[in-house]
Structure 1
Amino acid sequence: MVLFEESMADIHHHQQGQGQRSPRGPKQSQNQQKHKEEKQKQSGVMTMLTPLIMRGQICQMIPVATAQEIGSPIGSAVRAIAVAPVAPPAVMPMSVAFSRPGFIYLDAPTEIDIARTYALEQFQADAGLILTKEDGKKRRAVLDQLDQIVKRWVRRVTWQRQLSDDLKESSNAKIFIFGSCQLGVHGPEADIDALCVGPSHITLEDDFFIVLYNMLKHTPGVSELQCVKSASVPLMRFKFSGISIDLVYARLSLRSIPEDIYILDERLLENLDDTSMKSLNGYRVTTRILQLVPNIETFRSTLRCIKFWAKRRGVYSHIFGFLGGVHWAVLVARICQLFPHASVNMLVARFFWIYTQWQWPTPVTLVDAQPEQCDGDRHYHMQIIIPVHPYSCCSYNVTRSTLFKLKLEFSRGWNTIMKMETNWCSLPNIADWESLFEPFPFFTSYDYFIQIYLRASDEDALRSWRGWVESRFRHLLLRFEKLPAYCDPNPSPYFEENCSEPHCHFFWGLRLKKNLCVDMAALEEEFRVYLSNGYEGQPGCDVYLTLLNQFQLPSFVYSKSSELREHSKAYWTNENYNHHR
């Protein structure tokens, strides 16, 4: 086991053949080390210390373009050196060391790493995280049917508008998948995120939300069809043969869509409206991530683990102020870039090690490009940059409270990994990984809770109302942070089994300063007014806020059936959109 305790400057000193370092007495070394630590603390610089789990032959970080494995005069401590005229600094901030793309470690897995990876992948299979061949075949069949439907749709609109004969013959549309399905980390219950790309004469308002809507409405196997036109990325949401699909549309400046169209071609972005740009970016981001990782299979397995961990620990939800699928994908991809030869268990361990020490809001980016702020007036607590133009920050929903929770969970994950490392005196097994993925004990972690109760006249209205309220939860979260208070918004909805009224409960953990009085009636009324601004759904919907202590929690929160009860996905839509059109 090799520890990377020697500073980079000392390594460079050896490489230049200038001899060994002069010996120092214990007292002198302790005083110098103490002085160095105090100086680093004052300057906000964090030393890159390599923990025990970063074992093996550790290399100095090197530019990928110039990386070459060569001999070193100090043996196995360094496998590769930087081909650069200037030596790296002896102490470097974590943000500089790991945030810049193009620098890597070249250590490879050992036999014990391979065994641990096998145990981790068996854990994934036992947890039902891997899609079966039958499920995959069913999803491909549904997507093939959807692709044929949109092709007929474009031809129908072209003929109805009596456009030129050559356009009638060449009119085409195409379906692409993105998100977790494209990344290959979706499970059996995951939705399909689909992108429909159409030509310039096919519009979103008249053709996508009316003509295609009516075609899908009369398609056998399609159910729960809804237009979600008020979302930041307008879409249609429906089930096709029991599989949930979110379909977005991008209108390109082309007369027809070639079957071999390359969506990453930036020329396609010319003269593109904002809505189409947002629709395209989902596919462009996930495609680019797959291009930027050194090993797709290890990336997928690692991301599958991290997403499962994030859901278990209550930090997987973009609209609740945490991180969503694309954010976790970028974070994992960055670790894969840094350690291209690492096995899955090594990548999981280093994920927690690096992000435990990360100096937020230092950006995490996969490409060497200058991030462009999507909102110059907004303060970013975390900056996770999408790897395609315009290279904007996609983690803008993270707040002070949710960042604190994320940092706690990164730290807890790293401490768990270290304990596992200490206890692994024999070959690992599946049970070894269970401690990392233990669910967060939400209802025993706080003394106070905010109960958010949503009610509606029927289930369809509840889905609409719930989607609208969830999209505005960040406002409520920031309002509690101004009290000031620490707030942990649990993303899981809860349902009472014996309640006939369509409803939904959310519970947020709350930590208050001593003797702080919270006027829940005023907060409730303020939030209602905020929700009423722009809401066009059915009447009869309402929201109630209640402050509870741990002993006042309803009994159904401890029942798994109340949390895991299957409900259709929430959405926000103008209910009468198609009728009025």
Structure 2
Amino acid sequence: MNANQNGKPQRLGVTMPISEAYPTKEDEESTERLRKTLMDQGLFESEEESKRREIVLGKLSTMVKEFVYVISLRRNLPESSAREAGGKIFTYGSYRLGVHGSGKHVQREDFFGELHDMLRRRPEVTELTAVPDAFTPVIKMSFSDIPIDLIFARLSLTSIPDNLSLSDDSLLRNLDDRCIRSVNGSRVTDEILRLVPNIQSFRLALRCVKLWAQRRAVYSNMMGFLGGVAWAMPWPQPVLLKPIEEGPLQVRVWNPKLYPADKAHKMPIITPAYPSMCSTHNVTDSTKAVMLSEFKDAAELVNRIMVERAPWSDLFAKDDFFSRYRHYLQVIASSDSEERHLRWSGFVESRIRHLVTKLERVENLILAHPYIKGFSKVISYKTAAEKEDAAHGIVHTSPADQSDPASDSAETQTMYTSIYYIGLCIPAREAGSTGHRKLDLFRPKEEFTEIVKSWDKYDAQINHASLLSALPPELTEGVDQKKTKRAKSGKKSAVDNRPPTKKRRGSNSQNGALQDSTESIKK
């Protein structure tokens, strides 16, 4: 430990060190093997990529200053004041942590209006979408193929100097909640780096944890897992300290602030910067259970790696989500233009966790496990029947039926779809029970439909959910179905493979509401 001014040991974290022993030769060799494995996995950015990222940030910084200048003139500020108003880009998250593979007259509406339009005119910008209704409003884009999340905060300052630091708590005065959340993205990462005694060791460990989480499909704040900076806080981090005077080299563990939180929080992880917030408010009972199971499996695997010298690459094996369950719920969001689909699919994806919490209340369902991302498809169609099939995830590889005269003269049109999957864990049947059980998904689906239709930008785009007894072949390619896990429920449980009711194509007409679904389940 470090020593304070009185010469007494100073604890930097909230826990005692797990060990103060020297790292052994085996420990050092294992760390070097891990570093090489992470390099082989492409976790370290090349010098060329780093320079390109710096160029992008420089261009964005110039654009932000120009944006503030334009809005300042529009608000009738003098030319000199408009030039001095300024704006500044603060990095946060993985980039600020080093593990990345605004004046009062400028309003948030200007950010999502004028700046969004300025970005749209840039040839380097693709996949541009504004999400003003998010918990932390954001503009998402790729700038020269580098993914960027741009958030906005309006400080109570007359101008934004280039040397501004966000460490001063007084900057938060008179800010609304959305601005505080935006500013705290940078403040939290800065505070973490300030608290960590050895940043190099911290970054190596964090790269390892994040790669593992991504490979095991538990990296997504939006879907109810941990995301971004949350992974930097919950786990004990071994940190190598410099020798204290003539004493030995010491190893200690830093822990974040794991304080009690609201009872609604399933796995509270509290940020270290003021005002402290729970970074895991999206975690559900199901996603918590999935993460705890993955933590346990990973701990056992790391022990084998350390003791038996197994390769570190074993830790980063791909997830088995699409072979883990017998049945899955499929949610499809579709639109008729790429720009509208970026907004619509993003909104639907942000609400999937609400469907999960509703499914958790369904009788005969142990767990609803959402996959961390959707799968996008661009589908061409000619006839109304093909359009309907496309909206339900059915893709025709052959042209439209030539017996249909309308298909000969019909113009080929395009539909953009995003498909999301939720694995369903059904309990084993009790001994001696007979007959079928019911898995009633009607109410969760209807409530989810109402949530997405309540969006003020809802424009009758189709979204559909169906219970699948067979996944699309592209998701199960190379999967040995005989080894499929039954979601750790012990015995086999299945949804009746009989075809669903004919109500699918009549799903509430034009608004594309989710289908009725009360499925039978049998042993």
TM-score by length of 2: 0.75
1 CA distance for matches of 2:93 and 2:349? 21
CA contact (8 A) 1:106 1:341 kept: no
Gaps in structure 2 of 5+ consecutive residues: 244-250, 380-394, 396-413, 430-435, 479-523
1 CA distance for matches of 2:366 and 2:157? 52
- Residue equivalent to 1:432: 311
Identical residues among aligned pairs (%) = 33
Residue aligned with 1:508, SS: strand
Q: How far off its partner does 1:331 sit?
A: 2.2
- Residue equivalent to 1:421: 306
Counting helix residues as a fraction of each chain, which structure ranks higher? 1
Q: How far off its partner does 1:404 sit?
A: 1.4
1:366 aligned to which of 256, 267, 291 = 256
Over 4 Å off, 4+ runs: 62-69, 101-104, 339-342, 370-373, 495-498
Residue aligned with 1:177, SS: coil
Residue aligned with 1:176, SS: coil
CA gap 1:214/1:417 in 2 versus in 1, 3 angstroms: closer
- Residue equivalent to 1:24: none
Matches within 5 A, 1:10-89: 65=4
Residue aligned with 2:139, SS: strand
Q: How far off its partner does 1:101 sit?
A: 4.7
CA contact (8 A) 2:212 2:315 kept: yes
The yes-or-no answer on 1:156 pairing with 2:37 is no
The yes-or-no answer on 1:261 pairing with 2:140 is no
2 CA distance for matches of 1:160 and 1:521? 52
CA gap 1:235/1:497 in 2 versus in 1, 3 angstroms: closer
Matches within 5 A, 1:521-532: 521-532=442-453
Residue by residue over 1:289-337, the C-alpha shift from the partner in whole angstroms, topping out at 9 and shown as x without a partner, is: 11111111111111111111011111111121111011111124x4246
1 CA distance for matches of 2:438 and 2:37? 46
- Residue equivalent to 1:335: 237
Residue by residue over 1:165-221, the C-alpha shift from the partner in whole angstroms, topping out at 9 and shown as x without a partner, is: 65235221111111111111111xxxxxxxxxx11122111x322222333333342
CA contact (8 A) 1:67 1:83 kept: no
Matches within 5 A, 1:243-258: 243-258=146-161
Number of residue pairs the alignment of both structures matches: 429
1:445 aligned to which of 315, 321, 324 = 324
1:463 aligned to which of 342, 347, 350 = 342
- Residue equivalent to 1:296: 199
Residue aligned with 1:466, SS: helix
2 CA distance for matches of 1:295 and 1:466? 41
CA contact (8 A) 1:520 1:545 kept: no
Residue by residue over 1:508-558, the C-alpha shift from the partner in whole angstroms, topping out at 9 and shown as x without a partner, is: 22211336411234433332122212241443322222142xxx2221212
Gaps in structure 1 of 5+ consecutive residues: 1-61, 70-81, 85-97, 188-197, 343-349, 355-363, 425-430, 561-581
CA contact (8 A) 1:462 1:541 kept: no
CA contact (8 A) 2:219 2:227 kept: yes
Tell me which amino acid in the other structure corresponds to 1:310: A
Tell me which amino acid in the other structure corresponds to 1:270: R
Greater shift in the superposed pair: 455-464 or 302-311 = 455-464
Matches within 5 A, 1:364-403: 366-367=256-257, 371=259, 373=261, 376=262, 378-403=263-288
The yes-or-no answer on 1:137 pairing with 2:51 is yes
Residue aligned with 1:162, SS: coil
CA gap 1:68/1:107 in 2 versus in 1, 3 angstroms: farther
CA gap 1:160/1:531 in 2 versus in 1, 3 angstroms: closer
CA contact (8 A) 2:129 2:342 kept: no
The yes-or-no answer on 1:223 pairing with 2:108 is no
CA RMSD of aligned residues (A): 3.1
Tell me which amino acid in the other structure corresponds to 1:200: K
2 CA distance for matches of 1:83 and 1:214? 52
The yes-or-no answer on 1:493 pairing with 2:365 is no
Tell me which amino acid in the other structure corresponds to 2:147: S
2 CA distance for matches of 1:125 and 1:67? 43
- Residue equivalent to 1:240: 143
CA gap 1:495/1:104 in 2 versus in 1, 3 angstroms: same
Residue by residue over 1:400-438, the C-alpha shift from the partner in whole angstroms, topping out at 9 and shown as x without a partner, is: 2211111111111111122223323xxxxxx71122111
2 CA distance for matches of 1:273 and 1:140? 31
CA contact (8 A) 1:292 1:366 kept: no
CA gap 1:492/1:170 in 2 versus in 1, 3 angstroms: closer
- Residue equivalent to 2:483: none
1 CA distance for matches of 2:173 and 2:204? 36
Q: How far off its partner does 1:157 sit?
A: 2.5
